[in-house]
Amino acid sequence: MGKAKIAFQGEMGAYSHIASEEIFPGSEIKACPTFEETFKIAYDNEDYKIIIPIENSLAGRVADIHYLLPKYKLQIHAEHFQKVEHNLLVKKGAELKDIKFVRSHAQAIDQCQKIIIKNKFKTIISADTAGSAKDLSKSNDKSIGAIASRLSAKIYDLKILMKNIEDETQNTTRFVIMSKNVNQPEYDKSKKYITSCIFRLKSIPAALYKCLGGFATNQVNLTKLESFSVKNTFDQTNFYLDLEGHIEQSQVQKALEELGFHTESLNILGVYEASVFRQKK
C-alpha cells in the first residue's frame, strides 16, 4: 500500500501541516495556496484526503469553508483537534532588542497581543503564519519577527526567540478530514459518533423552530448550529449542523426525518467517530 496523499491550505509549516503529520505520519503532503484549490484536489482525485480547519476555540469558524462544503459535497470521515502553539521566530543572530515588527496571520496577531503590547511591536498582517516565516527566511532584515509554529522554524531555518507566546494556552483548532466517496462507519454502540449536515429551510414562518423540535423530542443533542447566507442573496440562509449520534440510530433517523419536512435541501456531510478530545472537555 502506498503512502496516503494529503492536501491542506497554506505553506509548509502551517498548523494544517502539523495536523496532517499527526493524523497521517509519513504521508505524501501537498500544500495549496487556497481552500478552493484544496477542495478541488480531493474532488478531482479520489486518492487525496484533505485536512480542513473548520473552527477555532478563540476565533470561531474559519471563513469561506461553509461555502465550499455544499459546492464540492466532499464527505467528512474524521475530526481532529489540534492545539495551537505560537512562537516568535527571528533570523539567526537576531535578539529581542533588534525586533521592531512582527508579521503573521491576523488571527495569530490577535491571539498574541500581550507579548506584542509589552514589547511595543508594530504588526504586519500576512496571509498565513507559515507564509510569514517563509517570507522572513528570504529576508536579511533582523528587525522583523514572525509568529508561527515550531515546525515553521525548522523548515525555514529560523530561531525560536520565544515559545508559546499565545495569550490563551487552550487555543485549539478543530479540523475535519474529507475526501470523495467515503463509506460511513457501521454503528457500534460502544463508540460515540458525530453526524454533520448542511440544510436550507423552506421560506415559511417558524420553519427553524419546527425543524429543531425534532431533535428535542427525540433527545438528540446538537453540538453545533451555524447559519450562513447563500451567496449573492439576502433572503436565503443555509445552516451547518453537528449532532451527537449515528445516522443508523433510530432517534437520529427520526430527528433528521423531521428536519427534512421543513427544508428545501438537506445534505449529510458525514458520519464519523467523535474525537477523544471531546471527552476531555
Q: What is the pLDDT of residues 73-107, one digit of tens each?
A: 999 999 999 999 999 999 999 999 999 999 999 98
Q: Which CATH number goes with the domain that contains 273?
A: 3.30.70.260
Q: Which three cell numbers stand for residue 7?
A: 492536501
74 and 106 co-located in one domain: no
Residue 257's domain comprises 193-280
What residues does 101 pair with on adjacent strands?
A: 122, 144
CA distance 249 to 141: 59
CA distance 142 to 249: 59
Ramachandran sector of residue 43 (left: φ over 0; alpha: ψ -120 to 50; beta: rest)? alpha
Q: Is residue 185 part of a domain?
A: no
* Average predicted confidence (pLDDT) for the chain: 93
CA distance 102 to 117: 11
Q: Is residue 269 part of a domain?
A: yes
60 and 113 co-located in one domain: no
Q: Is residue 258 part of a domain?
A: yes
What pTM, to 2 d.p., does this model score?
0.91
266 and 213 co-located in one domain: yes
CA distance 271 to 116: 42
Q: Is residue 186 part of a domain?
A: no
24 and 99 co-located in one domain: no
Flag whether pLDDT at 234 surpasses 90.
no
Active site residues: 173, 175
> Please, which residues have CB within 8 angstroms of residue 233's CB and are 6 or more apart in sequence?
none
pLDDT tens per residue across span 114-143: 999 999 999 999 989 999 999 999 999 999
> Number of folded domains in the chain?
3
Flag whether pLDDT at 279 surpasses 90.
no
The DSSP 8-state label assigned to residue 248 in this structure reads T
CB 166 within 8 A of CB 84: yes
- End position of a domain, from candidates 150, 179, 208: 179
Span between the terminal Cα atoms of the chain, in Å: 36
> Please, which residues have CB within 8 angstroms of residue 253's CB and are 6 or more apart in sequence?
247
10 and 71 co-located in one domain: yes
